[in-house]
Amino acid sequence: MKVLVACEFSGIVREAFRASGHDAWSCDLLPTERAGPHYQGDVRDILGDGWDLMVAHPPCTYLSASGLHWNRRRPERQALTDAAVLFVQQLLDAPIPRIAVENPIGALSTRIRKPDQIIQPWQFGHDASKATCLWLVNLPRLVPTDILPGGRLARRANQTASGQNKLSPSPDRWKQRSLTYPGIASAMADQWGISDA
């Protein structure tokens, strides 16, 4: 299949699909961090290029629940949230037969629709907690591949005692937090990369 991984600079999901034999390309405003097919630019420029599947990771800065409280304190942020929601709707409306959009819990659940699924890295073999919502178009829900002991009640390696993420503030914290866990990327490629998904 011809697979577009939108808003991905890391190449993690792209390479999972390529390892499964697909013609997969990543696209982001940033250059790719892993060698491989990558379009550096606005993904909207290539949405109509005959893709069979798109997995999109739109920026969550103005969409995630953890940041939406700033919209009340800084009203100028609301316009940025509105633009981010519009961008996601454009991705969901793209002329691509199968689409998955991932984002954390936040504005999309009320502004577009509730997600089809919420997954966790610990369901795919990673000792981490990071609720990730999936909005799916003509794709099945991901089936967990390696559920770690303790389920949702366990405190994971990436959490503090209060349950917050351990990463301290830094200029590239957003990059580290946005990476897709390889176990999830492999599940996407294995489960969505089949012709009758």
User: Following DSSP, what letter does each residue of 39-52 receive, concatenated?
Assistant: EES-GGGTTTS--S
User: 3-state DSSP call for residue 72?
Assistant: helix
- Which pLDDT score is estimated for 190? 97
Q: Is the pLDDT at 197 greater than 60, yes or no? A: no
Cβ-in-10-Å burial (0-12, 13-18, 19+) of 96 comes to buried
- Which pLDDT score is estimated for 167? 53
Residue 197 counted as domain residue: no
Residue 186 counted as domain residue: yes
Residue 10 counted as domain residue: yes
Residue 20 counted as domain residue: yes
Q: Which domain holds residue 130?
A: 2-192
Q: How many domains does the chain have?
A: 1
Average model confidence (pLDDT) across the chain: 88
Residue 25 counted as domain residue: yes
Q: Is the pLDDT at 62 greater than 70, yes or no? A: no
- Which pLDDT score is estimated for 81? 82
- Give the largest Cα separation in the chain, rounded: 48
- Cα dihedral sign for 122, 172, 68, 112? negative
Q: Is the pLDDT at 166 greater than 70, yes or no? A: no
Give the angle subtended at the CA of 156 by the CAs of 105 and 179, to the nearest 5°.
Answer: 55
3-state helix, strand, coil in the chain (%, to 5): 30, 20, 50
**CATH label of the domain that carries residue 8:** 3.40.50.150
What does the pLDDT look like over 32-58, one tens digit per residue? 999 999 999 999 999 999 999 999 999
Residue 88 counted as domain residue: yes
